[in-house]
Amino acid sequence: MNTETILSFEEAMEKYDPVLGFEVHVELNTKTKMFSSAPNVFGDAPNSNVNEVCLGLPGVLPVVNRKAVESSILIGLALNCKIAEHCTFARKQYFYPDTPKNFQTSQYEDPICYDGWLDVELADGTVFRVEIERAHMEEDAGKLTHMGGATGRIQGADFSLVDYNRSGVPLVEIVTKPIEGAGSRAPELAKAYVAAVREIVKNLGVSDAKMERGNVRCDANVSLRPYGQEKFGTRTETKNVNSLRAVENAVKFEIQRHGAVLDSGVKIIQETRHWHEDTKSTTSGRPKSDADDYRYFPEPDLLPIVTTAEWVEELRATLPEPPAERRKRLQADWGYTDLEFRDVVNAGLMGEIEETIAAGASAAAARKWWMGEIARRAKLADVDPAALGVTPAVVVEIEKLIAAGSINDKLARKVLDGVLEGEGTPAEVVQKRGLAVVSDDGALQKAIDEALAAQPEVAEKIRGGKVQAVGAIVGGVMKVTRGQADAGRVRELILATLGVEG
C-alpha cells in the first residue's frame, strides 16, 4: 500500500533536525454536551443522544456548558497556562456532513488558556519542557462511517452513515509551540508528551482519557531542517493517531519519510497524513495551507466568557496532586525500585496498577501481572497494554484464586486466555475450562501411588532421607494431572505416604 522510500531512522537523524508540534484533542466527560442539554455518553445507539441543538435544526441557539468551561480552565491550570479574563467563541466554517451547522463553534483569536508548559519525563529520567501555545474550547463533530469502497474513507465509498451522538461533545484542543531540540528522541518525546497529557486529564477527572475511544486524539506535526538552520522545514500533520505507540511510530515514520523526500531534492508538501496501524506508515490526506479559509468570525449567539480571579482560584484549589509528585508518592507507597517504577511509567501502566491495587491486589502482584503477562500479550497483539481488555478487577480475581489455592500461576495464564477470549470472569473461566487445581486428596493419592510405583529407586532415596529427591515424584504427579495439582500439597502427601518428615 505504501510504496514510498524512507531513510533509516539513524540516517535521517544524522542529516536532519526534527521539529515537532502537537494538537491534542481531549473529549470532556461532562454530563451534557458543549452547547446543548443532550447527554454526553459514549457507545449508545447511533443518533440517540441528540436534540435539536446538536442536530443544528433551524432556529436553534447554543448555550455554553459551565462545567465544560471549568474543565477547560482546570486543564489550562494543570498545563501551567494563563487563563484569559475574557474570551469569545468563533465560528469555523466548512461544509461537511459530520458538522450539522456546517460550522464548528470553536475559539479562534482568544483561547481560554494560553502560554503554558509541561515537563515531560523520558524513559531514562530526562525531563523535557514542552511549551504550550494554547488550549481552547470547541465542540466535537459527529462520527462518519464510510460504507463500501476499499479504504474505509469517503473517496470510493458507496454511502456514509453519520452518528450525531458525538456532535457537540465538549473538546479542549491543546496546541504546543514548535518543539525544537528533541533530536533522535523525538519519537519517544512524542509518546511521552501525549501520555503526560492523557495522565493529566485523567488525573483531573475531566476526561475518561481512553485513547481507544477517541477521548484523547493526537494530530502530530513533523518537519525536518538541516542541522544549524533556523528556519523550520515544511511540516506535515498526521491526523488522529490514536494510541501512544502509534504516536511514537507515526513521528518516527514521518521523520524517515521526510528525510528520504528531502534527500531526493523534492519539497515536502504541506498536507495532512493518515496513519495506518497495519502498515505502520502514513499516506497523503488533503493539502493544508496556513491560509485555509475557514471564514472565522465571532459567534454572535454566545456572550463572551468572563473568568474572575475568584473563580479561577476556586478551581485551582481543587487541582489534584501534580503527576510528578503523584509518581513520587506512588513509588514510595508501592515500594518499587527506581528501575521497576520507571518501567511502569514508561509502559504507561501507572494508572492501571494504581487501580488494580485499589481494587485489592498487592503492589507486587499488580506489577507482576501488568508488567509481565499482560504487557507480553499486548506486545504480541501490537496494542497498548491498557487496551488489551484486561481490567484491574480481572487481575484481582486471578490473584485471589491463586491465593486460595484454586489455581496456580501456570493455570492463571490459561484463565487469562479465557477472559481475553470472552469466556467470562476468571472464576467462570476456571469452571468452564475445568482449570481448578486438583485438591481432591483421593485423586492426588492415586497419582502419587502410581508415580512412586513408577520410580521405586527415587522412593527409596526419599525414604533414606534425601528429601530433595521428592521433586522428581512431584513432577510425575503434575504430569499426570496436567499441571492442575497444587504442588505444595502434592509434596506433603508424598512425604506422608513415605513416612518421612518434610
The least distance separating another protein from the CB of residue 286, rounded to whole angstroms, comes to 13
Nearer to another protein, 159 or 501 (CB): 159
Angle between helices 323-334 and 186-204 (to 10 degrees): 80
- Show contacts with another protein in window 55-94 (CB under 8 A): 55-64, 91, 93
The least distance separating another protein from the CB of residue 275, rounded to whole angstroms, comes to 24
Q: Which residues, in sequence order, are bridge partners of residue 426? A: none
Question: Beta strand 236-241 with 271-276: parallel, antiparallel or unpaired?
Answer: parallel
The least distance separating another protein from the CB of residue 70, rounded to whole angstroms, comes to 17
Nearer to another protein, 160 or 346 (CB): 160
Upper half-sphere CA count for residue 328 (Cβ side, 13 Å): 4
The least distance separating another protein from the CB of residue 153, rounded to whole angstroms, comes to 13
Nearer to another protein, 10 or 95 (CB): 95
Q: How far apart are CA 47 and CA 35, in angstroms?
A: 17
Angle between helices 470-480 and 487-498 (to 10 degrees): 120
Nearer to another protein, 57 or 332 (CB): 57
Nearer to another protein, 64 or 500 (CB): 64
CB contact set of 277 (below 8 Å; sequence gap of 6+):
243, 246, 382
Nearer to another protein, 63 or 454 (CB): 63
The least distance separating another protein from the CB of residue 30, rounded to whole angstroms, comes to 17
Is residue 498 within the footprint of another protein (CB under 8 A)? no
Q: Mark residues 27-56: x for contact with another protein by CB under 8 A, - for none.
A: -------------------------x--xx
The least distance separating another protein from the CB of residue 238, rounded to whole angstroms, comes to 24
Count of residues binding another protein (CB under 8 A)? Answer: 31
Nearer to another protein, 159 or 499 (CB): 159
- DSSP string for 61-87: -----HHHHHHHHHHHHHTT-EE-SEE
CB contact set of 243 (below 8 Å; sequence gap of 6+):
211, 212, 277, 383, 384, 387
CB contact set of 485 (below 8 Å; sequence gap of 6+):
437, 438, 439, 444, 447, 477, 478
Closest CA to 218 of 189, 188, 197, 187: 197
* Window of 75-83, 96-104, 348-356, 463-471 that interacts with another protein by CB under 8 A: 96-104
Closest CA to 401 of 484, 327, 466: 484
Nearer to another protein, 57 or 403 (CB): 57
Gyration radius from the chain CA atoms: 28
DSSP state of 211: G
Is residue 103 within the footprint of another protein (CB under 8 A)? yes
Is residue 364 within the footprint of another protein (CB under 8 A)? no
- Show contacts with another protein in window 151-210 (CB under 8 A): 154, 160
Nearer to another protein, 59 or 265 (CB): 59
State the amino acid at position 111 in one-letter form. P
* Window of 287-295, 332-340, 365-373, 448-456 that interacts with another protein by CB under 8 A: 287-295
DSSP state of 374: I
Neighbours of 5 (CB within 10 A): 11
The least distance separating another protein from the CB of residue 151, rounded to whole angstroms, comes to 16
Q: Which of 18, 76, 100, 385 binds another protein (CB under 8 A)?
A: 100
The least distance separating another protein from the CB of residue 52, rounded to whole angstroms, comes to 5
- Show contacts with another protein in window 288-307 (CB under 8 A): 291, 293, 295-297, 300-303
Nearer to another protein, 178 or 304 (CB): 304
Q: Mark residues 240-279: x for contact with another protein by CB under 8 A, - for none.
A: ----------------------------------------
- DSSP string for 17-67: EEEEEEEEEEE---SB-SSSSSB--SSSSTT-S--TTTTT-TT------HH
Nearer to another protein, 52 or 421 (CB): 52
Length of the chain: 502
Which helix (H) or strand (E) covers residue 225, if one does?
strand 216-226
Residues that bind another protein (CB under 8 A): 52, 55-64, 91, 93, 95-97, 100-103, 154, 160, 291, 293, 295-297, 300-303
